[in-house]
Chains A and B, each alone.
Chain A
Amino acid sequence: MDTIKQILSQFEYAAHHPGQVVREWKKETGCKAIGCLPIHSSGAEELIHAAGMLPVGLWGGQTTISKASEYLQAFCCSIMKAVMEFALQGVYKNLDGYISPNTCDTMRCIPLLLRETNPEVPVIGLVLPDNRKINPGIEYLAEEFKAVGASLSEIAGKEITDEALQNSIAVFNQHKTLMHQFLILANDHLDIITPYYRHMVVKSSFFMPREKHSQLLNELITALQAKPVHQWSGKKVVVTGIMMEPYSILNMLSDFNLAVVGDDLAQGSRQFRNLVAEGDEPYMRLAQRFADFEGCATVHDPVKLRGTIIKDLVKENKADGVIVMMMKFCDPEEYDYPYIKTDLEESHIPLLHVEIEQQMDSVEQIRTRLQAFSEMLKDK
């Protein structure tokens, strides 16, 4: 048990101290770090790695919004408000550049504001295609990755060779495989891997060097495998949405004996769901991964598969219900919700919709709703 606790505390430390992690890494290696804005910086992360730099996920955080209000109206999502606040407060001063994917309408503006407020730090746009499955879309994205790579090379002062990129893809693929393995194994140990620790393991991967995260994951997996399977007596849920914060919500789930057994979170399984397939041409490999990806509100999907994906998660993991963590003012997620609701209702899967923000005055209302949901599940 001590080994497991010790490993989990390392994940927890990184998740709570991203600034420290970046500083230490820069000091140790003398290399640079690049901030990656949500949601799909995947691909660019491999390029950052291949240029010898550290990709750092920028998904906001707990803060008080003051300076950002001069740039963003009240109806901007709390993640991007926090990102702007951190940028303006100098929290990101150890970052040597940003990757900004075209995630949503808000993120058409955020890179413009980052550039405008701090012209010293390069902001590299990553414009992912909507027509991602047809050849012109795949070829375009491969070229886009090349252009992103060229900008990153300039920051790093180091060329990205195909060989280095192939190697980085392997490092990231291995990490994704381990994450996937861990998330499955976690369901046998829901007493240890509580919603909070599950989130800590996932979140820390956005800050730690992937090799180190993989190494810790390996250790954790080995330690968990040595333990007998725990028979979870509470209820099991699948969560969907952008992320599972503020932290207080995670502890509330535990308070009501709800375990997270599967997720369709943007800051979660959507990052690890599919590997980069084998191939000779690394940029085409990265583009093909995006073509093959399914199930994110910010990735074009005329068939609207998300409901089906969530239903499958429920089935595979024997979940009792689904919680939609709706990030307030997240348009893409808000557009997806009614069809997710329809699809789950058709399959008689209990569903709870809670609205969250990173900066919440009170989570008491959520507590009441989670309690009611857990009681409803118990009665079923």
Chain B
Amino acid sequence: MTKVLAKDAVKTIQAEYYANALEAKERGQLVAWVTSIAPREFLEAMDIITIYPENHAAAIAAKKNSMEMMAIAESMGYSTDICSYARTNLGYVEAGDCAAGKLPVPDLLVCCNNICNTVTKWYEILSRRLNVPLIMIDMPFSHENEINDRAIDYMVGQFKHMISQLEQITGKPFNYERFQESMELSNQASLLWKEAADFGSMHPCPFNGIDFFNYMALIVCMRGNEKAVEFFTLLRDEIAEKAARGEGYLENEKYRILWDGIPFWFNLRAMFRSLKNYDACMVGSTYPDNWVLPYDVNDLRSMAKAYTSIFINRNFDYRVKNMMRLIDKYDVDGVIFHSNRSCKAQDFAQYAMSRKITELTGVPTVVVDGDQNDPRAFSEAQYETRVQALYEMIDQRKAAASAGR
């Protein structure tokens, strides 16, 4: 029997996930639309189906259908300057269908602003448009190097408030037993995810880092569920076997690249070509790394701290140190910063970050213009020129290093 490959399994699991969600909704199970790095364990505990408009929007873009959805939102008055995920989703809500399939209509919304303030605005609109309750989880931006106690107290207070909100919405007592299980599973999935990604440090790198953007769908949607643990075990083992054989994704790995930001979902091929054609491998990214969320099970303080600690909710020092850690771990030759029109929370630190990283590590960096979902903000030719410039800088640096030796 041939073994199932992770890249095939992810497609099947995801298709099943959406199909099951639609069926479950029909049967009367509650559905929540949730932001990508919200603590979904609370919802898992209450047997609430979680659906991710961000993932769905990305899938719409991958199916080349985002322009159509965004046009609907834009015709309603939503500016082309706002997040293209939001525009895609708000357009989808009006259209009711799209190339990436239907979503079950939500009974509630759960918005965690650890990723940006944009989701707060987006979910306010959804709450009014769909006339469903919005549970807001506010994770205060951290200006300090450590997360302060008042922020943790506040988050724990909100968790407790959310538990009572969920009890009210479902009419059932909160299932602490299932909550604990979900926390355990979430930690396991997160650890497996990290173990898989850690193989990026191997020479040659056993995987194509772009694939992680596809696997990401499951760490987002199903973290805290048995199926995620199953899948990420498969993924980790598959990569481990390749690594044990010394097999690389590329035959002649020449450049090891770190990617900062969300990809251009509507043109992953451009990303793929701009790397593979130059024997460059994406060995890691700041984006999937966000879902490495280890915490102590049954400790709400630890959980709050893990979820609020992601780099986009942190100060400049943390962001720089976080990237330096990834550069060191993956032995990175160059960094591509995706200046993503949709992601101001990340963008406006990138110019300073890219200079700081080169200053502190010597590793060359480029900032490329684009967008996660809006093809109008992306020029493939311009992008490729920038990436080529990065390869030249890496060559020069390597030549200088070997000349100096």
Interface positions of A (Cβ within 8 A of B):
70-73, 75-76, 80, 100, 102, 104-106, 108-113, 115-117, 123-125, 127, 129-131, 134-137, 139-140, 143-144, 147, 297-298, 300-304, 326, 328-329, 331-332, 334-339, 341
Q: Is B63 engaged at the interface, CB distance under 8 Å to the other chain?
A: no
Q: Is B76 engaged at the interface, CB distance under 8 Å to the other chain?
A: yes
Q: In the complex, which of the residues A75, A76, A109, A301 has the most CB atoms of chain B within 10 Å of its own CB atom?
A: A109
Which residues from 251 to 296 on chain B have a C-beta closer than 8 Å to any C-beta of chain A?
A: none
A43 to chain B, nearest CB (A): 15
The residues of B that contact A105 with a CB separation of less than 8 Å are 116-118, 343-345
Q: In the complex, which of the residues B81, B127, B128, B154 has the most CB atoms of chain A within 10 Å of its own CB atom?
A: B154
B338 to chain A, nearest CB (A): 12
Q: Is B79 engaged at the interface, CB distance under 8 Å to the other chain?
A: yes
Would you call A106 and B344 a contact (CB within 8 A)?
A: yes
15 new A-B pairs (CB below 8 Å) besides A75-B344, A105-B118, A136-B156? A73-B339, A73-B348, A75-B347, A108-B349, A109-B344, A110-B348, A130-B113, A136-B153, A136-B160, A139-B153, A139-B157, A304-B124, A328-B81, A331-B83, A335-B118
For the complex, would chain B's binding face be called helix, strand, loop or mixed by DSSP majority? helix
Given A70-B351, A75-B81, A332-B117: A140 and B345 within 8 A (CB)? no
The residues of B that contact A111 with a CB separation of less than 8 Å are 143
5 pairs from A and B in contact (CB 8 Å cutoff) = A75-B347, A76-B344, A106-B345, A129-B140, A297-B121
Would you call A335 and B345 a contact (CB within 8 A)?
A: no
The residues of B that contact A113 with a CB separation of less than 8 Å are 316, 348-349, 352
Q: Is B404 engaged at the interface, CB distance under 8 Å to the other chain?
A: no
Q: Is B216 engaged at the interface, CB distance under 8 Å to the other chain?
A: no
Cα distance A329–B150 in the bound complex, in angstroms:
32
B272 to chain A, nearest CB (A): 25
Would you call A108 and B352 a contact (CB within 8 A)?
A: no
Q: Is B315 engaged at the interface, CB distance under 8 Å to the other chain?
A: yes
Nearest first, the 5 A-B pairs at minimum CB distance are: A136-B157, A125-B143, A109-B348, A140-B154, A338-B77
Cα distance A297–B127 in the bound complex, in angstroms:
15
The residues of A that contact B352 with a CB separation of less than 8 Å are 71, 112-113, 116-117
The residues of A that contact B160 with a CB separation of less than 8 Å are 136
Would you call A116 and B344 a contact (CB within 8 A)?
A: no
Would you call B351 and A302 a contact (CB within 8 A)?
A: no
Given A112-B316, A136-B157: A302 and B81 within 8 A (CB)? no
The residues of A that contact B339 with a CB separation of less than 8 Å are 73
Cα distance A71–B117 in the bound complex, in angstroms:
21
Would you call A116 and B150 a contact (CB within 8 A)?
A: no
Q: Is B223 engaged at the interface, CB distance under 8 Å to the other chain?
A: no
The residues of B that contact A102 with a CB separation of less than 8 Å are 117, 140-141
Would you call A108 and B77 a contact (CB within 8 A)?
A: no
B201 to chain A, nearest CB (A): 28
A343 to chain B, nearest CB (A): 10
Would you call A127 and B140 a contact (CB within 8 A)?
A: yes
Cα distance A112–B349 in the bound complex, in angstroms:
7
The residues of B that contact A338 with a CB separation of less than 8 Å are 76-78, 125
Would you call B150 and A143 a contact (CB within 8 A)?
A: yes
The residues of B that contact A301 with a CB separation of less than 8 Å are 124
